[in-house]
Structure 1
Amino acid sequence: MEKIAMIGGGSWATALTKILSENGARVGWWMRSKDDVQHLQHTRHNRRYLSSVAFDLTRVFPSTDLEATVKDADWLVLAVPAAFVKEALDKLDRDSLKSKRVISAIKGMIPGKNVLVTDYVAERFRLPHTQLGVVAGPCHAEEVALEKQSYLTIGGTDMLLAEDFSQLLRNRYTKAYPMADLDGIEYCAVMKNIIALTSGIAHGLGYGDNFQAVLVSNAVQEMRRFVHAINPQARDLSASAYLGDLLVTAYSQFSRNRTFGNMIGRGYSVKSAQMEMNMVAEGYYAVKSIHELNKKLNVSMPITSAAYHILYEKISPAVELEILKEKLR
């Protein structure tokens, strides 16, 4: 029986715990809230996210003790918002992950440091990248709860690690495949949230399907330019790990980044949108990280720049989209 330490109590952590535990793994599940842990122990449900999912407590072990959860695990799966990764993991000793294989299920970057989650983990715990992987693909947590057919890609520099974790995720409604592209998949997962957020802004302003399609097709070109500049490698961005993830995040009703952007387009302030959603939209933080990284690369990124101007320079969404639409083809 594989032993997993799941770090995070949100919807994606809940969905992955469902898949892994139902596939036979033992999942130690760390949550920050003592009340949430106690509720799960007594009812078998996560009261905050995907509350319809019932967990087998002979395989799932909720806890607020991070060190104990991590200690007995073979795998560590990170599924907290990127903004909270440093706060959570800095409680651990630098050697505590020495023998672990670490998977990031986070589609964001460490704010302030502007680094990928896997790069932060590698530096903080002195791990080789061969011990790290990333989960990507068009797969909303809400559809996992409903057991809708889903596809995942495990990116890594070690294909054995990627294949091993893929096997842990495969079941009748989830297909998972390994791919030898850690950085590219992770950067694209970050950028698709920026695109989804901008797509939401456009929708909130009343732009239609025609514009949305042009926006997303231009976004693929923008992602290709940026990822090639920061990590040149032959990669097919039409694969589901890249394009599929972008499409579902840009168009789906379950996309929190699209929802957040839609609220901004309708006139909400950033703070009021965040408060009403009560969930983290990774794209908000990702915009600043990618924008700052691009100051050195100087890649043409009109969509990311537009989102940055709206969210951080408080330019009117209507004015900024008028400027952006002239740059798209």
Structure 2
Amino acid sequence: MSQHRPARAAVFSAGSWGTAAAKILADAGTTVIVHARRSEIADAINHHHRNPSYFPDVDLPTSLTATTDPAAALKDADYLVLSIPAQSLRASLATWSPHIGPDTVIVSLMKGIEQGTGKRASEVIAEVTGVNANRIAVLSGPNLAREIMDGQPAAATVACPDEAAARRFQAACHTSYFRPYTSTDVIGCEMGGAVKNVIALATGIAHGMNLGHNAAAMLITRGLAEAIRLATAMGADPATLAGLSGIGDLVATCTSPLSRNRTFGSHLGQGMTVEETTAVTRQTTEGVKSAEAILNLARAHDVEMPITQIISALLHEKISLDEAAAALMQRPPKPER
């Protein structure tokens, strides 16, 4: 990156979190181009400085532009910031990969595990692009997009094996309302972000069934234990799960009505089927897509994840809602640690 120009970031794509991330970067002084799939979204961002599909009421920085051309978005980009559904990452990245520059750092905002392979987003990125791990970073934390768009305070962890690269991206997205911290524990950040979505489905179900705050606190706490067990078995530092990308993200996603996964779970808890809930849920709910992949990872690493197991069974209609609630309480008692 030249010392004589601001950092340049290409944000793919113009969804809820992608738009929020683009706003953060632009507010931090980074030059931002958003890649939108639909020309009407790109035109609205360029001419009206708004994203009508997600935040029609929020003005975007005038320095933020958009395009439907991936090559144009990636031209001279210091950062490729990826905010797309985890299950479409591989195919999309294969299309975009030829346009990625030799020094571009790829930053994943994704919080899902690929079905079939059990790979984390950073692993898929490395596999598809051939980019060295030192050029692949992860941004993860308690980051509800609506609150960020409103300028409410938030923080996150930027994880990259190359500390210097993490610090550069930290500077590129540090604003008065958004505080990024750095880490080298990519596995811990990604697994915290993925597992919390499944636990949020469980707390949403408890909310929908009116099971109370004690039940929610129990699920959050025992869900954190599941995330720590799996992440550390995969090589993460357990301390990462006590940070922003672990318990921080878990609490926000499990307790906020703005959370997609909690909302999806709440619909299930009120008696809607998975199909009915999917039909009324406009945005990607990563926990639904990733639950079985996470459970398969747990089995491969010989890790017990009872909440994840129950949620996966419920999503695949192997057990009923009442059976799921009963199963969560009928676990054999044992020492907490």
The number of aligned residues is 328
Match of 2:40 among 28, 35, 45: 35
Offset of residue 87 of structure 1: 2.9
Offset of residue 53 of structure 1: 2.2
Offset of residue 11 of structure 1: 1.1
Offset of residue 95 of structure 1: 7.2
* Deviation digits for residues 177-229 of structure 1 (CA, Å, limit 9, x no counterpart): 10121111101100000100111111112211011111111111111111111
Offset of residue 78 of structure 1: 0.3
* Deviation digits for residues 27-70 of structure 1 (CA, Å, limit 9, x no counterpart): 1110111221122223210001122222234x222111112211
Offset of residue 125 of structure 1: 0.9
Change over 3 Å in CA distance of 1:95–1:13 after alignment to 2? closer
Correspondence list, 1:74-89, <5 A: 74-89=78-93
Match of 2:66 among 54, 58, 62: 62
User: What residue identity is the alignment partner of 1:284?
Assistant: V
* Deviation digits for residues 127-168 of structure 1 (CA, Å, limit 9, x no counterpart): 111111111111211111111111111011111111111111
Corresponding position of 1:198: 202
* Deviation digits for residues 74-99 of structure 1 (CA, Å, limit 9, x no counterpart): 11000111122123212134573432
Corresponding position of 2:113: 109
User: TM-score scaled by structure 1?
Assistant: 0.95
User: Quick check: 2:113–2:194 contact (8 Å CA) kept in 1?
Assistant: yes
Offset of residue 232 of structure 1: 4.7
Instruction: State how far apart, in whole Å, the 2-side matches of 1:152 and 1:56 are.
Output: 21
Instruction: State how far apart, in whole Å, the 1-side matches of 2:29 and 2:225 are.
Output: 41
Offset of residue 265 of structure 1: 1.4
Correspondence list, 1:231-246, <5 A: 231-233=235-237, 235-246=239-250
Offset of residue 234 of structure 1: 5.1
User: What residue identity is the alignment partner of 1:63?
Assistant: T
Match of 2:8 among 3, 11, 17: 3
Change over 3 Å in CA distance of 1:130–1:31 after alignment to 2? same
Corresponding position of 2:276: 272
Q: Which moved more, 1:32-41 or 1:12-21?
A: 32-41
Match of 1:226 among 227, 230, 234: 230
Instruction: State how far apart, in whole Å, the 1-side matches of 2:100 and 2:248 are.
Output: 35
* Deviation digits for residues 253-294 of structure 1 (CA, Å, limit 9, x no counterpart): 110000001111112121221121111111001101101222
Offset of residue 300 of structure 1: 0.9
Instruction: State how far apart, in whole Å, the 1-side matches of 2:19 and 2:235 are.
Output: 32
User: Quick check: 2:253–2:262 contact (8 Å CA) kept in 1?
Assistant: yes
Cα root mean square deviation, aligned = 1.6
User: Quick check: 1:137–1:152 contact (8 Å CA) kept in 2?
Assistant: yes
User: Quick check: 2:10–2:32 contact (8 Å CA) kept in 1?
Assistant: yes
Identity of aligned residues (%): 30
User: What residue identity is the alignment partner of 2:115?
Assistant: P
Change over 3 Å in CA distance of 1:93–1:277 after alignment to 2? closer
Instruction: State how far apart, in whole Å, the 1-side matches of 2:181 and 2:148 are.
Output: 17
Correspondence list, 1:1-329, <5 A: 1-57=6-62, 59-94=63-98, 96-233=100-237, 235-327=239-331
Instruction: State how far apart, in whole Å, the 2-side matches of 1:203 and 1:126 are.
Output: 43
Q: Which moved more, 1:305-314 or 1:81-90?
A: 81-90
SS in structure 1 of the partner of residue 103 of structure 2: coil
SS in structure 2 of the partner of residue 90 of structure 1: helix
Q: Which moved more, 1:83-92 or 1:132-141?
A: 83-92
User: Quick check: 2:188–2:238 contact (8 Å CA) kept in 1?
Assistant: no
User: Quick check: 2:208–2:268 contact (8 Å CA) kept in 1?
Assistant: yes
Offset of residue 19 of structure 1: 1.1
SS in structure 1 of the partner of residue 226 of structure 2: helix
* Deviation digits for residues 78-128 of structure 1 (CA, Å, limit 9, x no counterpart): 011112212321213457343210100111122332211110011111111
| Unaligned ranges ≥5, structure 2 | 1-5
Offset of residue 311 of structure 1: 0.2
User: Quick check: 2:187–2:234 contact (8 Å CA) kept in 1?
Assistant: no
SS in structure 1 of the partner of residue 96 of structure 2: coil
